[in-house]
Amino acid sequence: MIKKSVFILVLIGTLMVIAGIIYWIFGGIEVKLVGENEINVTYKSDYNDEGFKITKYDNEVSEKRYRYETKSNVDTNILGEYETVYYIKYFLKTYELKRIVHVVDNVEPEITTNIESIEKDYCTKKVLSKDLEYNAIDNYDGDVTDKVTKEENEEGVILTVTDNNGNVGTKNILYTYTEKPKDKFTLNGSSTMYVAKGSKFSDPGTTYKDGCGVKMDVKVSTSGSVDTSKNGDYKITYTANDLTVTRKVTVYTPSTNTGGSVSGKVIYLTFDDGPGSYTERVLNTLNKYGVKATFFVTHQFGSYVNLIKKEYEQGHSVAVHSYTHNWNIYKSVDAYVNDFNKMNADIEKYTGSKSKIFRFPGGSSNTVSKSYAKGVVKAIASRMTSEGYQYFDWDVDSGDAAGASRSKIYSNVVNGVKNCSKCIVLMHDIKSNTVNELDNILRELTSKGYKFGTLNVNSPTVHHKIAN
Ligand SMILES: [Zn+2]
């Protein structure tokens, strides 16, 4: 009895020990893959499996306690489904872990462009940069440039390309803009105006444009005023959006054009060789004294030719001098007439009609023409007069073409008009001495009460003796 019960006890004890050992070995054991059981691997990439992990109550089991084998057929050079399997022996037990591996093309095609942004002009929105060029390469499909689609919106161009496996590549090329040009605030009319005393001054105002040249309605504040009952210089200042422009207005007493000792005499001031850079000053000075003159014009200073319009609009006579003012116009009658007609076409463009009067370069008595063609001036004069044109020389020479000083020009003119018969005064609006002295000359002549006239085809002529 005792033997049997001892045996049972020993047996129970042994079973408990075995159970204890089994529990000690396998209790709390977990065998798991590291990472997901099913994964995607990029085509042509290096594939390294993350492996597995054995834990016992969350503590990693030493590698000494198990052995394992791996089988894997993964080939990242070919798209498809593969598997990696681990066979793990832990004591007497074998665990099998399997990971499904998909080799996939999950790389989007790459678009490259010749420019990274498209520059546009702020105002015109015109494209300034090179034309956009692009190509697209896919890791699996190769060159997919043909498949690129181009879409435009306000911000730029969006290039999109989808490869055969549905991967989408995009590239945004944004628009950039040049800097916004500054606003422009300008005077209407001249910056220097002359107003006759007692007349009404009407302000031509200003124009405000944004940097792109679009007229803007902005608030303009004006300071200063003109008292036309009092001679003097007045200043008007206009301000809009921090921009300021100023106009000078001179109130003057106009010449009365009457006078005892000089009554009956008419002075024809003539200005040759312009329009040029001084012509506007000449016009302002003439305006200041209310004097009208005659301009024998040229096309020598191209950017000023449009001043012919102003000469005409201010009541002066505009007449032909020469388009080129080159002596070789005297090589033949035709050469002269061609040059003459070109100038008269300019005059027509700015005044609405051709002029019937002219002045020979060098005057009708010039001898320079001799070295170009014998008798040419005579031939020109007879042809032109037969066609109804009239030419004018002069009987008062300011001397400015020969380089006279200001005081000499003054005395030549002021003394010259005392003794002239027709009083056609030769001056040049391209000579600074003349332009600088003109105010003094006009002050003197107007204060003496001379009358001034402009030349037309019926005016009294002064003709020198034709020398060739
Ligand atoms: Zn000339």
Same domain, residue pair 189 and 97: no
- Residues facing residue 223 across a β-bridge: 237
319 and 364 belong to one structural domain: yes
pTM above 0.75, yes or no: no
Give yes or no: residues 268 and 283 share one domain.
yes
Residue 15 included in any domain: no
CA of 284 to the centre of ligand 1 (A): 22
Q: What is the pLDDT of residues 375-409, one digit of tens each?
A: 999 999 999 988 889 999 999 999 999 999 999 99
- Give me ligand 1 centre to Cα 346, in Å: 17
Which of 235, 251, 267 is at the close of a domain?
251
Domain that holds residue 430: 254-452
Q: Whole-number mean pLDDT of the chain?
A: 92
Question: Which pLDDT score, from 0 to 100, does residue 253 have?
Answer: 64
7 in any annotated domain: no
Residue 13 has pLDDT above 50, yes or no: yes
From ligand 1's centre to the CA of 362, what distance in Å?
Answer: 6
Mean pLDDT, residues 123-135 taken together: 94
Distance 377 CA to ligand 1 centre (A): 15
Q: Which CATH number fits the domain that encloses residue 66? A: 2.60.40.10
Residue owning tokens 């093309």: 105
Give residue 28's pLDDT band: very low, low, confident or very high (50, 70, 90). confident
DSSP, collapsed to helix, strand or coil, labels residue 38 as strand
Question: What confidence score (pLDDT) does residue 257 get?
Answer: 35
Mean pLDDT calculated for residue range 199-210? 90
The pLDDT of residue 259: 33
What kind and span of H or E run contains 6? helix 2-26
Q: What is the pLDDT of residues 60-82, one digit of tens each?
A: 999 899 999 999 999 999 999 99
Q: Judge if 192 and 173 occupy the same domain.
A: no
How many angstroms separate the alpha carbon of residue 336 from the centre of ligand 1?
14
CA of 446 to the centre of ligand 1 (A): 26
> Are the C-beta atoms of 300 and 210 separated by less than 8 Å?
no
Q: From start to end of 291-423, where are the E strands?
A: 294-298, 317-322, 357-358, 390-391, 396-397
What's the CA-to-centroid distance between 442 and ligand 1, angstroms? 22
Q: Is residue 352 located within the same domain as residue 392? A: yes
Catalytic positions, written as ranges: 272, 428
Are residues 360 and 435 both part of a single domain?
yes
Q: Is the pLDDT of residue 96 over 50?
A: yes
Same domain, 244 and 315: no
The pLDDT score that the predictor gives to residue 91 is: 86
Is residue 282 domain-shared with residue 396, that is, in the same domain? yes
**Bridge partners for 193 per DSSP:** 249
Residue 158 reports pLDDT greater than 90:
yes
Cα 150 from Cα 331, distance rounded (Å): 65
Does the structure show a pLDDT above 80 at 348? yes
On whether residue 343 sits in a domain, the answer given is yes
97/207 same-domain check = no
Mean pLDDT across 142-148: 96
For residues 226 and 324, state if they share a domain. no
- Least confident window among 92-106, 161-175, 195-209, 421-435: 195-209
Q: How far does Cα 441 stand from its chain's mean position?
A: 45
Q: Which tens digit of pLDDT belongs to each residue from 34-64?
A: 999 999 999 999 999 999 999 999 899 998 9
Q: Which residues pair with 168 in a beta bridge?
A: 162
Identity of the amino acid at 315: G
Q: Which of 29-38, 191-200, 323-332 has the lowest mean pLDDT?
A: 191-200
Alpha-helical runs (H) found in 81-226: none
246 in the same domain as 259: no
- pLDDT tens profile 286-306: 999 999 999 999 999 989 999
| Per-residue confidence band for 459, with pLDDT thresholds at 50, 70 and 90 | confident
Q: How far is the CA of 350 from the centre of ligand 1 (A)?
A: 20
The share of the chain scoring above pLDDT 90, in percent, equals 82
Q: Which two tokens stand for residue 174?
A: 């944004």
Q: Is the pLDDT of residue 110 over 80?
A: yes
* pLDDT at residue 139 greater than cutoff 60: yes
Q: Which of 161, 177, 193 is the last residue of a domain?
A: 177
What the block records as the tokens of 386 is: 């037969």
- Mean pLDDT for 264-293 is 95
**Same structural domain for residues 49 and 167?**
no
* pLDDT score of 468 more than 50: yes
Determine the distance separating the centroid of ligand 1 and the alpha carbon of 354, expressed in angstroms.
19
- What separation in Å is there between the alpha carbon of 447 and the centre of ligand 1? 30
Answer whether residue 248 shows pLDDT above 90. Answer: no
- DSSP label of 327: G
Q: Which DSSP symbol is given to 15? A: H
CATH code, 353: 3.20.20.370
Residue 208 lies in a domain: yes
Q: How far is the CA of 272 from the centre of ligand 1 (A)?
A: 5
Q: What is the total count of domains within the chain?
A: 4
Tell me the chain's radius of gyration from C-alpha atoms.
Answer: 51
Q: Which of 28-32, 310-314, 342-346 has the highest mean pLDDT?
A: 342-346
For residue 352, is it within any domain? yes
**In the prediction, which pLDDT does 256 show?**
38
Residue 215 DSSP label? B
Res. 1: pLDDT tops 70: no
